[in-house]
Amino acid sequence: MKKHKIALIPGDGVGKEVIAQGVKVLYAASEKHGFELDFIDYPFGSGHYLKTGELVSEDSLAEIGKCDAIYLGALGDPRVKPGILEKGILLQLRFHFDQYVNLRPVKLLPNVYCPLKNKGPADIDFVVFRENTEDFYIGLGGNAKGKTHQNLELVRQMYKVKFGLDIETDAEEIAYQIGLVSRGGTERIIRYAYEYTKKSGKTKLASVDKANVLTSIYGFWRKTFEDMGAEYPGIKTESLFVDAVTMFFVMQPERFQSLVVPNMFGDIITDLGAAIQGGMGTAPSGNINPAGVSMFEPIHGSAPDIAGRGIANPIAAIWAGEMMVRSLGEGAAADSIMKALETVLAKNRIKTPDFGGASSTSDVGDAIADAVLKG
């Protein structure tokens, strides 16, 4: 019997609650379809950090590298300064394992509230491919004040040439952030999007940028996308500015089948995508390295205000588990989880308070696991 070794990181707050339901459903799918799941628990999160001062050790990264995938709950705690857990754990995992594809399905499920007037499941069903390792997230930046301006002479000179103005850093503080995209990084995410679109039978792929203003970085992105399109004559392409895309998400979501997006804009528009598909509790995410270890997670945070109350919505975590087993080659199991998700939601009886119901987190997990076994 085939066995998959999974690094399990429940994390903080409701992450522990929703990931437990995801594991429950995954065990049901593995039983139904004849494979084994070996979950290896890792304690990374706020509790471990506050107790030990450790985020993720090199030894743990080496161990996780021997797993087939990572299943993550949520990170965040009001006792820890924002950015510490996110950078030290989440981004560390993404960058260490070169998970350069952030795969985000935007799909409205049955009986899930949509804030868009006259839009239903037939209108909202597309995939966003967010580049996950470059752009403004590479960490090149800083601030300076007073005599430290010597370290920023290049920035100062560029500003003077461009605008005819001088930055008087002796008198004021400045901050700067540098975005960077590479030929290799841009080509691999765009090719992944083209290939995924082609293999899934879709016929349209849109690229998102801001090439009209940030001409160097995003003009480069747009040209790469358009040049590569010649290799995929069966796919209709369009390049759109990010501000237009946010408008189309709201007014014409049915316009889209697949989108490929640079890192920063992808971070923004996929949260808008989550909103139109019913909220953060419905939105899963895959951080993909096609040749290495990938990580799957719900996109919502740790929600400390409702942690421990047993009312968190586990749909996104369960859906992320579906994405994980599909990536591991267990397509039949993934199909059964997705069918069970839609079946339970279609009956409109078992639902958490954010969906207008009174069911608990575990009630939803039980119902979906049962539907998997009976399906």
For 326-371, the DSSP string reads HHTT-HHHHHHHHHHHHHHHHHT-S--GGGT----HHHHHHHHHHH
As a whole number, the mean pLDDT across the chain is 92
The total number of structural domains in the chain stands at 1
Q: What is the mean pLDDT of residues 165-193?
A: 79
Give pLDDT, residue 138. 75
Per residue in 68-81, pLDDT (tens digit) is 999 999 999 999 99
- Is there a domain that residue 285 lies in? yes
pLDDT above 90 covers a percentage of the chain that reads 84
- Is there a domain that residue 99 lies in? yes
- Is there a domain that residue 372 lies in? yes
- Is there a domain that residue 23 lies in? yes
β-partners of residue 295 are: 70, 287
- Is there a domain that residue 61 lies in? yes
pLDDT above 70 covers a percentage of the chain that reads 90
Residue 169 has pLDDT above 70, yes or no: no
> Which amino acid appears at position 170 of this protein?
D
- Which residue range(s) make up the domain with 325? 1-105+279-375
How wide is the angle at C-alpha 198 spanned by C-alphas 193 and 248, nearest 5°?
60
- Is there a domain that residue 169 lies in? no
- Is there a domain that residue 198 lies in? no
Q: What is the mean pLDDT of residues 188-217?
A: 96
β-partners of residue 106 are: 126
Give pLDDT, residue 162. 54
Domain of 20, CATH number, reads: 3.40.718.10
Give pLDDT, residue 124. 97
- Is there a domain that residue 100 lies in? yes
Residue 324 has pLDDT above 90, yes or no: yes
Q: What is the mean pLDDT of residues 332-344?
A: 98
Per residue in 37-62, pLDDT (tens digit) is 999 999 999 999 999 999 999 999 99
Give pLDDT, residue 280. 87
Whether the predicted model's global pTM rises above the 0.75 cut: yes
Q: What is the mean pLDDT of residues 313-332?
A: 98
Give pLDDT, residue 179. 83
Total count of residues recorded for the chain: 375
Q: What is the mean pLDDT of residues 257-282?
A: 95
Kindly indicate the confidence band of residue 136, based on its pLDDT and cuts at 50, 70 and 90.
confident
Q: CA dist 235 to 10, 110, 222, Å?
A: 39, 29, 16
